[in-house]
Structure 1
Amino acid sequence: MTELKVHDSERDRDIKPIKLFYFLYIAGWGAFSVFFPVYLVERGISLAQVGIIMAIPMIIGIFMSIMWSSFSDAIGRRKPFLIQSSILMALFTFAITLLYSFEGFLILGVFKALFIPMAEGLIVTSLFRLSDYRGRATAYSGFAIWGSVGWAIATALAGVAAWVFGITAVFYLASLLFVVATIVYLRVPEPREIEGFPKTSARSSVRPRIITSYFAPIRELLTNKKMVILLLASLPLFAAINAASRFFPIYLESSGASPILIGLAFTFPAILEIPVFLYAGKLSDKIGARKPLLIFSAAVYSLLFFLVLLTSNPVLLLLIHSLLTPFAWAPLITGSSTLVSEIVPRDKWVTGQNLFTIWLWSIGGIIGSLIGGFTSDAWGLPVMFAIASVFALVSGIFFRGVREK
């Protein structure tokens, strides 16, 4: 019993700085991502061009993210790539303030895609290396609330900063948060294996292969039928989430919302999703299933997008988004991240999580950004939300065919 307590104490000690890094990283990302579309429109960029600025770097990012995650699995390390991601995000968000043209924003986005690894999969893998298998969903949901708190605080501060100092101040704030995150993680040791799991052999067996093929681990995962079914079922929902999340701030501003209200529209959901994260993880572990969370999430997202298109009142939009988003996002991320960790080999955890992250934010982002941008330009934002609602409903139906462990 004493030995178990010692291991628990060591595990908690290792997880705490990772939680702080996650808090800061997601805070920086929240401040940047909420106001970036609004900033682009204020610089005279059309909605279709906004979609292109979002989509083109994602196409490049797909291949680069596979390379970074495969390299991480090959050498068995996460820390160097998380530091690289956070310090380059600091430079990226600062550089945004120096640009004014469509071409400039697009080139900067390409730089981001080439050199900034996706942090989400690396962070989640670091957590799962320190978590007991049976309580993994509970561990993830407890961890995820740190991101929720960081997002809530940063989006609120960003709204105030934009209102008081102008929207450019938002990106100075985001850059500062990424700098602090980098400093924090410099003091974090590489996550250690927990007791009870076999050591991974990736460091010795994959390193020679990585030189000739960065994509071998991805090809291996794409022969996993459970993973392929999950990816295909989630694609319509991910496209809808990306389209809505990128253009909802613009929809708010066009409805007369102030920068503070725009910030609060993303602050309140992040606060309210904290208890949902905790309950979703415990419920999923209790029933031993992840699929119900995915189906429920898709249904709530479909309802959310449908209600958004029915009004242009900024206060009603704030209420709809704040009250429904937590019940859509928390179950989706808890269920999907945990399910991926259960259906892929343990020495492919980073690659598996990053493949899912690529599917969510890159593949879904490309489709969602292009459909959202061109649809909004041609027929208006309400039509775009109608399409998103249908896409989410389709995924909810497809999730019924997802296979679990």
Structure 2
Amino acid sequence: MIQKALRLYREAYAGLSLQIWLLAGVMLINRAGSMVVPFMTLYFTQELHFSMQQAGFIISAYGVGSTIGSLLGGRLTDKLGYFKVQFLGLFLGGFLLFVLVWMRDFYAVVACTLVLSMVADMFRPANSAAVAAFSDVQNRTRAYSLNRLAINLGFSISPALGGFLAAQSFSWLFWVDGVTCWIAALILFLFLRNAPETTLSAEEETETSPQRSAYQDRPFLFFIFLTVCFAIAFMQVFMLLPLYLKQQFQLPEWYIGLVISANGLLVALLEMVIVFRVEGYPRKLKIVSRGLLWLVAGYLLLALNLHYWTAWLFILLITIAEMLAMPFMSTFTIERATVQNRGQYAALYNVAYALGYIFAPSFGAYMASTFGFVYLWMAAATIALFTFGGFRILERWVRHEKAL
């Protein structure tokens, strides 16, 4: 049994290029130090003494900057290449974290947060295009899953460590986050600056379909709308769950960090194997829609408001949702693109999550402060259920499109 499990893990990780592993390493270092975002709400309310609505507004500003940065990053990626855009995003993002830690005025914090997210999120579409360039159609979903594994492994470290650091001083979060951005930029520069800008698979070399603008791709635009809905529902986990656990159950920061870290750890342990087992399934959007049902179940459980230990079961349910949905959403995005406009498609996909950053915190903060957390979790479950229906419609639309 153990040998069979080990063989399954080896097969799941086999066949990926060295560049994919290096990109995952850069992502791991960067995300292991990403301690500011999970504790933004606590930092703004407890350290800077802003109201919950002000904290929600700042996080929404983060989303606005992320939207601009994603669009700018996608455009620059198609023009300059993914290495330069990734490097600039990491280096300048680290610098702006060192600036933000000194800000105390509300409007200065809003402005600095917006610029920080704009610069830092130029990295995302460039990184997505790089993963596509160094993978082929057979292992692309696993390549994205490895990248997500690095993200989630890092994210399993950062909230736990961040919780301990925040208990000492919130300023440590900014210093450690900024330094890890610079370390990731240095590794990118040392090992990937001379990598070729395109690596085409045999299928892509013989590609004959004309280049299509993402803005004219109607099924993809509908997909982007559904991704925004998914992001609004899913991001309540990281935006408002820490505050809920603090206010409802008076849990310490280090315990909250451990709960949030469980999500990243589970993804790191299980996602590659799950993707390896189901990546040959042709109806990938159906897998995404099934993931949405797990998200619905998670929020309904949280709405019961039973006990603080239900947070652990909730994390398990939403992690299953994440593992079934996100890898195949990334693959769907790149498979709709051509080699020449991957940056454009990847940018729009990242904009969807950036829009989630804009609407999710304000929506969540309003619902929690006005109606209470139970109604927030019920609303999130409703949005997830709506998104499930949308993905079933999109799946039929895409199947009809291919049949023509």
- Taking the aligned partners of 1:372 and 1:379, their CA distance within structure 2 comes to 10
Q: Does 1:287 align with 2:287?
A: no
8 Å Cα contact 2:58-2:109 kept in structure 1 = yes
Match of 2:366 among 328, 353, 374: 374
Q: Does 1:40 align with 2:31?
A: no
- Written as runs of structure 1 = structure 2, the 5 A alignment for 1:3-402 is 12-29=17-34, 31-42=35-46, 43-75=48-80, 77-163=81-167, 165-190=168-193, 191-192=195-196, 193-196=199-202, 197-198=204-205, 220-254=213-247, 255-311=249-305, 313-317=307-311, 319-360=312-353, 362-402=354-394
- Taking the aligned partners of 2:66 and 2:37, their CA distance within structure 1 comes to 17
Identity within the alignment, %: 15
- Taking the aligned partners of 1:153 and 1:57, their CA distance within structure 2 comes to 22
8 Å Cα contact 2:135-2:201 kept in structure 1 = no
- How many residue pairs end up in the alignment? 377
- Taking the aligned partners of 2:298 and 2:50, their CA distance within structure 1 comes to 27
Give a deviation string over 1:7-62, Cα, whole Å, max 9, x none.
xx997332332121010122223x12111111111121112112211223433542
8 Å Cα contact 1:145-1:274 kept in structure 2 = yes
Give a deviation string over 1:122-148, Cα, whole Å, max 9, x none.
212211111121221122223321222
CA RMSD of aligned residues (A): 2.6
- Taking the aligned partners of 1:143 and 1:53, their CA distance within structure 2 comes to 28
Give a deviation string over 1:375-405, Cα, whole Å, max 9, x none.
2222222222221111011101111012446
8 Å Cα contact 1:276-1:326 kept in structure 2 = no
Q: Which amino acid aligns with 2:290?
A: F
- Taking the aligned partners of 2:299 and 2:328, their CA distance within structure 1 comes to 21
Q: Which amino acid aligns with 2:130?
A: S
8 Å Cα contact 1:137-1:284 kept in structure 2 = no
- Taking the aligned partners of 2:393 and 2:158, their CA distance within structure 1 comes to 38
Q: Which amino acid aligns with 1:375?
A: M
**DSSP 3-state at the match of 1:402:** helix
8 Å Cα contact 2:238-2:260 kept in structure 1 = no
TM-score, length-scaled by structure 1: 0.85
| Deviation for aligned residue 1:241 | 1.9
> For residues 344 and 226 of structure 1, do their structure 2 counterparts lie closer, same or farther at Cα, with a shift above 3 Å needed?
farther
| Deviation for aligned residue 1:106 | 0.5
- Taking the aligned partners of 2:157 and 2:237, their CA distance within structure 1 comes to 22
| Deviation for aligned residue 1:312 | 6.4
| Deviation for aligned residue 1:81 | 1.3
8 Å Cα contact 2:70-2:350 kept in structure 1 = no
Unaligned runs of 5+ in 2: 1-13
Unaligned runs of 5+ in 1: 1-8, 201-216
Q: Which amino acid aligns with 2:180?
A: L
Q: Relative to structure 2, which stretch is displaced further, 65-74 or 107-116?
A: 107-116
TM-score, length-scaled by structure 2: 0.86
**DSSP 3-state at the match of 2:222:** helix
- Taking the aligned partners of 1:263 and 1:302, their CA distance within structure 2 comes to 23
Q: Which amino acid aligns with 1:374?
A: Y
> For residues 258 and 266 of structure 1, do their structure 2 counterparts lie closer, same or farther at Cα, with a shift above 3 Å needed?
same
8 Å Cα contact 1:244-1:385 kept in structure 2 = no
Q: Which amino acid aligns with 1:306?
A: L
- Taking the aligned partners of 2:99 and 2:287, their CA distance within structure 1 comes to 39
Instruction: Report the counterpart of residue 7 of structure 2 in structure 1.
Output: none
Q: Relative to structure 2, which stretch is displaced further, 264-273 or 86-95?
A: 86-95
8 Å Cα contact 1:85-1:119 kept in structure 2 = yes
